[in-house]
Chain A
Amino acid sequence: MELIANLGLGLSTAMTPLNLLYCLAGVFLGTLIGVLPGLGPTATIAMLLPVTFSLPPVSSLIMLAGIYYGSQYGGSTTSILVNVPGEAASVVTALDGYQMARKGRAGVALATAAIGSFFAGTVATVVLALFAPPLAEIALKFGPAEFFSLMVLGLLASLVLARGSLLHATGMVVLGLLLGLVGADITTGTQRFTFGMARLSDGIGFVVVAMGMFGLAEIVRNLEDEDDRSLIVKKVSNLMPTKEDWKRMVAPILRGTAIGSVLGILPGSGSILGSFAAYAIEKKVSKHSAEFGSGAIEGVAAPESANNAGAQTSFIPMLTLGIPSNPVMALMIGAMIIQGIQPGPSVISEQPALFWGIIVSMWIGNLFLVVLNLPLVGMWVRMVSVPYQFLFPAILVFCGIGVFSLNNTEFDVFVMAIFGVVGYIFVKLDCEPAPMLLAFILGPMMEEYLRRALLLSRGDPMILIQRPISAVMLGLGVLAIVVASLPMFYKKREEAFQGD
């Protein structure tokens, strides 16, 4: 069979001592930057690009890929322990993960994240090996209309993310949409809400907002609350999941993996949307939906699986078509070009050792990650018992460095500080930042795709329902609204919030 021959080729490429070493180095570094808040894979890979010039192409790409999915793995750590999401995709993990940590179940949450990620990574790697080229072709069928409808569906789902009142959540969604409008209009170049600042013409960075609203605001909130601070340290119970935990995480991991794999293939939004969608769906279908927001293990298992599955499948458009689906993939393409490999449809046939080597290395990398991370759980948990007068300044410094490294500008650090204050005010007002952040990501994309769809249809909005995939998604959106307005659902929602 061809697949086995291919995998054999991949195995023999990935298993050389040198490549194993670079794979390990990549995932280790990735975990590290994932743990450090704000330092993302984009900045790290950009910094390491010159180092890879001197390596063989396969080794360098194996290492860079490892940094990427390793960081997705590590990104959950600070979300869970201190409510500082290091990556966009870890925002949802913070919702229940941090609550678990506050209940003394930080170890279980971390272990769940690691196990879910490993399973998802394994499955997504198989998907990549089996179906990469046909899947990439299907993803191309997604035009502007389809993307717009997908975003609408995502936005409606974001209301489910809210723990408090529906009114607050809607208000936060609107605020997120408004913030997303900041920057140059993509079609005309007109500046919107930039107040003459050139720095704002590309919009406000997502990581900047997320770190301010979650990280800084959380630190401020913690500082005013003396009793709260000692909570975590006192009550660290078991580190590993119990039998009951295992039972509860299986289905969410499976669902999360499926959702993450599918959404990861789509360019642009993939891995971020995946973790949000997995969380929203889990909250809907779970028997324990009442616990969501107050430390449900499903709320960690599903988004973390989706996140890691998406990180792997987002390589599909890059490896098979040469199209970057996110900034990290753009960097990988840059690295390939510098190495003299022309990324594109011909990579599979012209560079089979490279293509299959990377795929097999991803699975090996995932194995490394789980072996690396499970024993570290105990160490990470002890991190929160570091006295807060040391821990908080350290987090602040890392947030500052991380945000600065995004664009090499201090402007972003100031913006983060502003959103820290804003986030603290919202905590006081009982307004959840998660729906706002999702709207903030989706809003600009929705606008972009809608206008593009209308440009292509010469202004005819019917394009949104004439295209079947788009129509189905809008239909699901309508269904979600109907379900949401059913009185029975309201009752359930209220029950859910009693738990807070």
Chain B
Amino acid sequence: MIKSSLKFAACLVATFFAAQASAEDYPSKVITLVVPFAAGGPSDTVARLTAQSMGTILKTQIIVENVGGAGGTLGAARVAQAKPDGYTLLVHHIGHATAPALYRKLAYDPIGDFEPVGLVNDGAMALIARKDFPAKDLKEMIAYAKANKEKMNVANAGVGSASHLCGMLLMSALNTEFVTVPYKGTGPAMNDLLGGQVDFMCDQTTNNASQIKAGKVKAYGMTTAKRVAAFPDIPTLSEAGLPNFTVTVWHAMYAPKGTPQPIVDKLSKALQEALKDATLKQRFADLGSEPVSQERATPQALRAHLKAEIDKWGPIIKKAGVFAD
């Protein structure tokens, strides 16, 4: 009896010291960063650039693990259930905020099951059309699309994708409906846009920057509040005729609920530091995106932003009657 209680006490002490050590010496081993999408995609690229930079700052290796499927909800669910020790993190995009509206049976709570670490970037989206689309600016484009609305085809990368959200927002802003043609991802959608099979699409500049630059598609505007540095000649949709039409594909980092506060703070500091990195900034800029400001790469800013985005998208998705499950 005495022996076993001694053992128990020893365990307790050991656990205590281990917990203590984990907060102070963190990180003492490799960190796994879950990206809930396939390797090679835009979110994967953002996550990998961030992971590399943060790894240098934290003096540890951050391994990106792609857990794709079901619109990012499988990867997010894995992190929600992971041990909250700071060694399993998540980088997710705007889909984290739209999941509660899109999925009736979501295995986790996007707010309650995570500790926000900070926002990573704001990705611009561009409204692009096939090369021979008969309109020279946004106003003409809207007029033409409305006049020929029976014939218009809007492509997107699948139910719940960023391009789907932007398309819904566009139809809601124009107060009209076009035929929506879903694809499995942006690649095939872009293929058909280049081939002139569909008329237009609104998607992340990460996916279409090179096509815009090469003149293979027409760009009518950016979804950001300010013009995108990589495309100084392309107006924002707001200035070109769709006031207040802003939607960005933002990425953010999360830890599982219950991760000790000192670890979250350490991660958040490392994230802020990483976002100042010149190479990272340059790569993000190439993608038509930029890292968020220092004060937004914080748990507080992310918590508020996530809440605001959930409140913004919920009604739009509900009104469109779209579900992903």
- Chain B window 49-77, contacts with chain A (Cβ cutoff 8 Å), 1 for yes, 0 for no: 10010000000000111111110011001
Is B301 among interface residues, defined by CB-CB distance under 8 A? no
CA distance A188 to B181 in the complex (A): 10
Range class of the B interface residue count = 35 or more
Q: What are 21 A-B contacts with C-beta separation under 8 Å? A: A49-B39, A49-B64, A186-B159, A189-B322, A189-B323, A189-B325, A191-B325, A199-B74, A202-B69, A268-B188, A323-B191, A324-B187, A330-B41, A338-B283, A340-B283, A342-B210, A344-B209, A407-B67, A452-B183, A456-B181, A458-B150
New A-B contacts (18) at CB < 8 Å, excluding given A184-B70, A408-B65: A42-B39, A50-B52, A50-B64, A140-B196, A186-B159, A189-B323, A191-B325, A198-B73, A199-B70, A322-B211, A327-B40, A334-B40, A335-B40, A337-B45, A337-B286, A448-B184, A452-B181, A458-B150
Contact A144 B192 (CB under 8 A): yes
Cβ-defined contact, B70 with A456, below 8 A: no
Our pick among A142, A191, A322, A448 for the contact of B210 (Cβ within 8 Å) is A322
Interface string of A449-493 (1 = CB under 8 A from B): 000100110100000000000000000000000000000000000
**Contact assessment for B45 and A338 in the assembled complex, using a CB-CB cutoff below 8 Å:** yes
CA distance A151 to B188 in the complex (A): 16
- Verify if A12 is at the interface (C-beta below 8 Å from B): no
Q: Are B324 and A143 in contact, with the CB atoms below 8 A?
A: no
User: Is A332 in contact with B159, judged by CB distance below 8 angstroms?
Assistant: no
Task: Please tell me which one of the listed residues B45, B65, B68, B153 contacts residue A455 in the complex, with CB atoms under 8 A apart.
Answer: B153
Closest Cβ of chain A to B12, distance in Å, is 33
List the B side residues contacting A191 at CB < 8 Å. 325
- Among residues of B, the one whose C-beta sits closest to the C-beta of A452 is B181
Residues B182 and A186 in contact, CB atoms below 8 Å apart: yes
Residue contact B210 to A338, C-beta cutoff 8 Å: no
How far, in Å, is B110 (CB) from chain A's closest CB?
Answer: 15
| B258 part of interface (Cβ distance < 8 Å) | no
Other-chain residue from A201, A268, A452 in contact with B69 (beta carbon distance below 8 A): A201
Give every chain B residue within 8 A of A357 (Cβ-Cβ).
Answer: none
Q: State the CA gap A49–B45 with chains docked (Å).
A: 10
CA distance A456 to B181 in the complex (A): 8
Cβ A455 vs Cβ B181 within 8 A: yes
Which 6 pairs of residues, A with B, have the shortest CB-CB distance?
Answer: A344-B210, A334-B40, A140-B195, A330-B40, A189-B159, A331-B40
| Contact in complex: A196, B70 (CB < 8 Å) | no
Cβ–Cβ contact A202 & B153, under 8 A: no
- Cβ of A237 < 8 Å from any Cβ of B? no
Task: Pick the residue among B40, B74, B198, B282 that contacts A340 (CB under 8 A).
Answer: B282
Provide the bound-state CA to CA distance between A24 and B264, in Å: 43
Return A333 CB to nearest CB of chain B, in Å.
Answer: 6
A338 touches B49 (CB 8 A): yes
Whether A187 sits at the interface, judged by CB under 8 Å, is yes
Given contacts A331-B40, A346-B213, contact A337 B287 (CB under 8 A): yes
Contacting pair B197 A338 (CB below 8 A) = no
Whole-angstrom CA separation of A332 from B181 in the bound complex:
27
Report B-chain residues with C-beta under 8 Å of the C-beta of A187.
182
Is A53 on the interface with B (CB-CB < 8 A)? yes
- From known contacts A186-B182, A340-B283, A342-B286, infer whether A49 and B160 are also in contact, taking CB-CB under 8 Å: no
Shortest CB distance A256–B (Å): 26
Q: Which residue of B lies closest to A345 (CB)?
A: B214
Interface flag for B96 (CB, 8 Å): no
Assess the B324–A184 pair: CB atoms within 8 A.
yes
Q: How far is the CA of A407 from the CA of B39 in the complex (A)?
A: 10
Q: Does B23 contact A (CB under 8 A)?
A: no
> Given A198-B70, A455-B179, does the pair A346, B107 have CB atoms closer than 8 Å?
no
- How distant is the Cα of A337 from the Cα of B209 in the complex, in angstroms? 11
Q: How far is the CA of A346 from the CA of B39 in the complex (A)?
A: 23
Count how many chain A residues have C-beta atoms less than 8 Å from C-beta atoms of the other chain.
53
Shortest Cβ distance from A348 into chain B, in angstroms?
A: 10
Q: Is the C-beta of A295 less than 8 angstroms from some C-beta in chain B?
A: no
Q: B150 contacts which chain A residues (CB < 8 A)?
A: 458
A186 CB contacts on chain B under 8 angstroms: 158-159, 182-184
Asked if residues A317 and B38 are in contact (CB atoms below 8 Å), the reply is: no
Q: Does residue B194 face the partner (Cβ distance < 8 Å to A)?
A: yes
- Shortest CB-to-CB span from A196 to chain B, Å, is 7
Q: B194 near A334 (CB under 8 angstroms)?
A: no
A287 at the interface (CB under 8 A from B): no
B74 A198 Cβ-Cβ under 8 A: yes
Bound-state Cα–Cα, A201 to B48, Å: 26
Expressed in whole angstroms, the Cα–Cα distance for A172 and B105 within the complex equals: 34
Indicate if the CB atoms of A333 and B191 lie closer than 8 Å.
no
Q: Which residues of B contact A321 (CB under 8 A)?
A: 191, 194, 211, 216
Answer whether residue A247 sits at the interface, using C-beta atoms and an 8 A cutoff. no
The docked-state distance in angstroms from the alpha carbon of A335 to that of B195 is 25
Question: In the bound complex, do residue A407 and residue B325 qualify as a contact, i.e. CB atoms below 8 Å apart?
Answer: no
Q: Are B194 and A198 in contact (CB under 8 A)?
A: no
| Complex CA–CA separation, A42 to B179 (angstroms) | 34
**Contact partners of A324 in chain B: CB under 8 A:** 40, 187
Q: Which of B77, B179, B282 contacts A198 (CB 8 A)?
A: B77
Q: Is the CB of B182 within 8 A of A201?
A: no
Bound CA–CA A235/B64 (angstroms) = 48
Pairwise interchain contact A344-B179, C-beta atoms closer than 8 A: no
Chain B residues within 8 Å of A344, by CB: 209-211, 213-214, 216
**Residue B190 at the chain A interface, CB threshold 8 Å:** yes
CB pair A343 B181 closer than 8 Å: no
B290 / chain A contacts, CB cutoff of 8 Å: none
- Measured between beta carbons, the chain A residues less than 8 angstroms from B63 are 50
> Which B residue's beta carbon lies closest to that of A189?
B159
Please provide the chain B residues from 28 to 49 with a CB less than 8 Å away from any CB of chain A in the complex.
38-41, 44-45, 48-49
Is A46 within 8 A of B39, CB to CB? yes
Q: Write the chain A residue with the least CB distance to B207.
A: A322
> Considering the chains assembled together, what is the distance between the CA atoms of A142 and B44 in angstroms?
29
**Distance (whole angstroms) from the CB of B78 to the closest CB of chain A:** 9
With the chains together, A342 CA to B68 CA distance in Å? 24
In the assembled complex, which residues on chain A have CB atoms less than 8 Å from the CB atom of B52?
Answer: 50, 53
User: In the complex, which of the residues B105, B188, B198 has the most CB atoms of chain A within 10 Å of its own CB atom?
Assistant: B188
Across the interface, which residues of B come within 8 angstroms of A322, CB to CB? 210-211
Contact of B48 among A199, A338, A407 (CB under 8 A): A338
Alpha-carbon distance A46/B181, docked complex (angstroms): 30
Given contacts A143-B192, A345-B210, whether A201 and B325 have CB atoms under 8 Å apart is yes
Q: Smallest Cβ distance from B50 to chain A, in angstroms?
A: 11
User: With a CB–CB cut-off of 8 A, which chain B residues contact A50?
Assistant: 48, 52, 63-64
Chain A residues with CB below 8 A from B182, complex form:
186-187
Contact A202 to B70, CB < 8 A, known contacts A53-B52, A322-B210, A332-B40: yes
| Residue of A196, A201, A340 with highest tally of chain B CB at under 10 A | A201
Given contacts A330-B41, A456-B198, contact A198 B107 (CB under 8 A): yes
